[in-house]
Amino acid sequence: MNSVLVFALAGVGLILLGLYALLVQRHLLRKVLAFNVISSGIFLILAGLARRAPGAEPDPVPQAMVLTGIVVAVAATALALAMIQALRTATGRTRLDDDGED
Amino acid sequence: MQSLYYSLILFLLLTLVAGLWRIRRGPTAADRMLAAQLFGTTATAILLLLAEASTAPALHDVALVLALLAAITVTAFTRRVRGLRSADLGLVDATAGKDAPVGEADGEDSARSRKPLGACAGERREGLARDASPDPASDLASGLSSGSANGSANSAAGGGHAG
Amino acid sequence: MLVSLSILLLLAGAVFFLAGTLGLLRFPDVYTRLHALTKADNLGLGLIVLGLMLQADSLAAAGKLLFIWLLLLAASATAGQLVASWAQGKGIKPWRG
Amino acid sequence: MAWLNLLPLAIDLVLALTLLWLAWRALSSPDLFRAVVLFIALGLVLGLVWVRLDAVDIALAEIALGAGVTGALLLAALAKLQPGATDSAEPASAAEFAAALEGDPDTPRPALAERAATGTAPIALGSTLDERPVGAAAGTAPIALRWLIALLLIPPCIGLGLVVWQLWVPAPGLTDLVAARLDESGVTYPVTAVLLNFRGYDTLLELAVLLLALIGVWSLSPAPHLDDAEPEPALAALSRLLAPLMILVAAYLVWIGAQAPGGAFQAGSVLGAAGVLLRLSGWRLSPRATGWPLRLALVLGVAVFAFIGLAVIGLGQPLLGYPAGWAKPAILAIELAATLSIGTILAALFIGGRP
């Protein structure tokens, strides 16, 4: 059992949890959190793949991708939160409900 | 020495995880925020020990950044989630601020932020007292000025429970 | 000699962290928990920093460790004060044994 | 003493399990405030995980963002989303919100009790912090649908797990390739070389995405008028002490990025955190600064990057191919501009709304 593999598999677990919550939860803020959990899972797998050669220097290319990805994820989160707020101002709702089919 | 470092790291990590239980338990929002604050200190200690254990001095920079930013989340909590209470109680007229012309509001804001520190403190006391007195839920209503109420909270927090 | 003193300080620091977490979990209200967190944990960190400073390679490295501790002291003290005054503004009553 | 070798593995297992537990609780907790706090904790645990994965750059960015911008952003959004924060004030639900925040059974809830007594308390509180199912407006999909979704998600995730497992053959990836050309890159630290030289176009586009996100936020609404109280004296003192230090540390991170973990994204995150702290302490930009100076700071990163990237074409180089000997100053100029822009964009995203 390899430490790096543990984290990569935990990344898969995060993706599963995030996808489930994204589909099941109705509150939009929860969907935003779920998106972030999914992206964290993807980042974990990528950073794990950078460490496949035991004892050697980690691969800088996936690390650079994750590094910029984290910052972009925060910006996307901020945009999503602003959109939720705009939705609330316009309709008074903060979640997606099935009723009404709108 | 290496194994001592790793044992300490594991130990601190376990105290950290145990502390996270407070986020679940609450009961107040402040209790949950405290558990997040726990991260600042414990994770810094873990980072410093990891730097020593794996001889990676770059981790000192990570610890430095964490220490530098440790207070921001709690500050956001007390500053942002606080505002709603006074609005709830009708002390702040929500519509008044919205109708004010943009330029005026900005001008007032910048004028306020230029005031010396002492003036701010005085204003804040008044603000707190005004905040508290019409609130029947708080025991501040019993004629305590906010200054002495602060003192009593501090002594309650500071007295008797040495770690 | 220096190494054993360092080990002693590190272990003492860990004990204070344990005390801080126990306080956070066992104390009855937010004010007392705040006390456990901001005091015990920062003392624990101080001891660990001191223990690591004894083994630092250079004066600059030791100074950086000390600086990190001072920063956290300032952050914790302020955060503790802010949370306590928030709780008080909400009318959360201090526990009276 | 073989068990001592297992200590790092034990640490990693504890970290991985904590990660999964926090994610699960953050996504399933019935109370939104608790969910957000658990999510903030998740980000900080992730910071420790990056350290264990030898990804110190990512750890720096994650901790700077997780402790600085993300937490503040989510908490501020939560406070804005609670009832009563918009024009159509709903006082009773706001009281309910406050009660949910306090959560202490000993605390009386006069506003709500009074309202309930007079029969004016609204029934639908579903969108408050406390997401108790009220009527049909439950917080999640129906239970049968939830099981179906869970069952449907398991096969692809097992597949993903198997793929990850299969990929786990020792492979150096692009490490050797990067190391071979590192001398030409202008820096001695591989991650910075990848970010600003080998895959410069990627970084340029990421900066553009950040700018786009801010344009999106600005196009949605004007800046909110917060009736911020004056900062507590302790907070005012802290922001005066820490904000200059944050700017100093950001500069240090750019400088050290040439040979060690650090660089524009980490430094920009710290700079953004400084902006968040100043804003929380009641500081505003003067109206004179919110015009072109602010906008210049926002686009400077993309502008300098694109200008240098295009200018080298005139020197007979490919796009973003720095001529020999010029890589170091070019990277330094781009990094400084990018740091300023990333920090300003992050702070502007936290404030939200166009000035």
ipTM above 0.90, yes or no: no
State how far residue B113 is from chain C, nearest Cα, in angstroms. 20
Residue of C nearest to D104 (CA): C92
Q: How far is CA C42 from the centre of its chain?
A: 1
pLDDT value of position D102: 52
Domains of chain A and any CATH numbers:
3-91 (1.10.287)
D228 close to C (CB below 8 A): no
Reply yes or no: is the peptide bond before residue B27 cis, omega within 30 of 0.
Answer: yes
User: What SS3 state is found at A51?
Assistant: coil
How wide is the angle at C-alpha C17 spanned by C-alphas C14 and C23, nearest 5°?
145
Phi-psi region of C56 (alpha: psi -120 to 50; beta: other; left: phi over 0): beta
pLDDT value of position D175: 85
Distance CA C11, CA B154 (A): 30
pLDDT at B100 over 70: no
Least CB-CB distance to D79: which of B71, B83, B106? B83
State how far residue C85 is from chain B, nearest Cα, in angstroms. 7
Chain B residues with CB-CB distance to D282 below 8 A = 112-113
Structural domain span for residue B39? 1-77
Distance CA A32, CA D176 (A): 38
Question: Closest by alpha carbon to D92, among B27, B82, B89?
Answer: B89
Q: Do B15 and C21 touch (CB under 8 A)?
A: yes
Domain chopping of chain C, boundaries: 2-89
Question: Closest by alpha carbon to D227, among B132, B117, B131, B84?
Answer: B84
Residue of D nearest to C67 (CA): D245
Do the domain assignments include residue B157? no
Q: Do D56 and B59 touch (CB under 8 A)?
A: yes
Distance CA B122, CA D230 (A): 10
Q: Do D193 and A79 touch (CB under 8 A)?
A: no
Instruction: Report pLDDT digits (tens) over B20-36.
Output: 888 888 788 888 888 87
Give the chains touching A; criterion: ≥3 Cβ pairs < 8 Å: D
The mean pLDDT of B136-147, rounded to a whole number, is 33
Give yes or no: residues B70 and B124 share one domain.
no
> What's the pLDDT band for A98 if we cut at 50, 70, 90?
low
Q: Judged by CB atoms within 8 Å, which residues 60-89 of C form the interface with B?
A: 61, 64-65, 67-69, 71-72, 74-76, 78-79, 82-89
Do the domain assignments include residue B163? no
Q: Would you say the C-alpha torsion C38, C44, C50, C56 has a positive or negative sign?
A: negative
> What's the pLDDT band for C69 if we cut at 50, 70, 90?
very high
Give yes or no: residues B69 and B93 share one domain.
no
State how far residue C71 is from chain B, nearest Cα, in angstroms. 6
Higher per-residue pLDDT: D316 or B159: D316
The answer to whether B and A touch (≥3 CB pairs < 8 Å) is no
Q: Judged by CB atoms within 8 Å, which residues 99-128 of D form the interface with C?
A: 101-102, 104, 106-107
Which tokens in the block code for residue B133?
């007195």
CB D90 within 8 A of CB D127: no
Q: Do B6 and D7 touch (CB under 8 A)?
A: yes
pLDDT value of position D323: 85
How wide is the angle at C-alpha D333 spanned by C-alphas D329 and D336, nearest 5°?
135
The answer to whether D and B touch (≥3 CB pairs < 8 Å) is yes
Give yes or no: residues B3 and B68 share one domain.
yes
Give the chains touching D; criterion: ≥3 Cβ pairs < 8 Å: A, B, C
Q: What is the mean pLDDT of each run of 10 residues along chain D (355 residues)?
A: 78 95 91 90 94 93 93 90 48 48 44 39 35 46 85 89 84 84 87 88 93 94 75 88 94 92 93 93 82 92 93 85 86 93 94 85
Count the Cβ atoms, other than its own, within 10 Å of residue C51.
Answer: 25
Count the Cβ atoms, other than its own, within 10 Å of residue D179.
Answer: 14
Distance CA A74, CA A68 (A): 10
Give yes or no: residues B103 and B68 share one domain.
no
Distance CA D46, CA D167 (A): 22
Do the domain assignments include residue B152? no
pLDDT at B125 over 60: no
Do the domain assignments include residue B131? yes
Q: Which amino acid is at D77?
A: A
Give yes or no: residues B39 and B60 share one domain.
yes
Do the domain assignments include residue B41? yes
Residue of B nearest to C82 (CA): B78
Q: Do B40 and C86 touch (CB under 8 A)?
A: no
Chain D residues with CB-CB distance to B90 below 8 A = 91
- Top-confidence range, B8-17, B90-99, D158-167: B8-17
Query: Residues 6 or more apart from D288 whose CB is under 8 A from it?
Result: none
Q: Which residue has the tokens 């400088």?
A: D255
Which tokens in the block code for residue D189?
């630290």
Q: Do B3 and D4 touch (CB under 8 A)?
A: yes
Give yes or no: residues B56 and B105 share one domain.
no
Q: How many domains, chain B?
A: 2
Least CB-CB distance to D104: which of C78, C82, C92? C92
Which tokens in the block code for residue D159?
């597949």
Give the chains touching B; criterion: ≥3 Cβ pairs < 8 Å: C, D
D78 close to B (CB below 8 A): yes
Chain C residues with CB-CB distance to D273 below 8 A = none
Give the count of alpha carbons within 13 A of B43, CB side only: 36
Q: Do C20 and B135 touch (CB under 8 A)?
A: no
State how far residue D146 is from chain A, nearest Cα, in angstroms. 6
Do the domain assignments include residue B65? yes
Do the domain assignments include residue B154? no
Give the number of C-D residue pairs with CB atoms closer than 8 Å. 29
Question: Closest by alpha carbon to B50, among B90, B10, B86?
Answer: B10
Chain D residues with CB-CB distance to C61 below 8 A = none
pLDDT value of position A51: 86
Q: Which residue has the tokens 């908490």?
A: D75
Give yes or no: residues B10 and B34 share one domain.
yes
User: What SS3 state is found at D354?
Assistant: strand
Question: Closest by alpha carbon to D342, among D294, D310, D280, D299?
Answer: D299
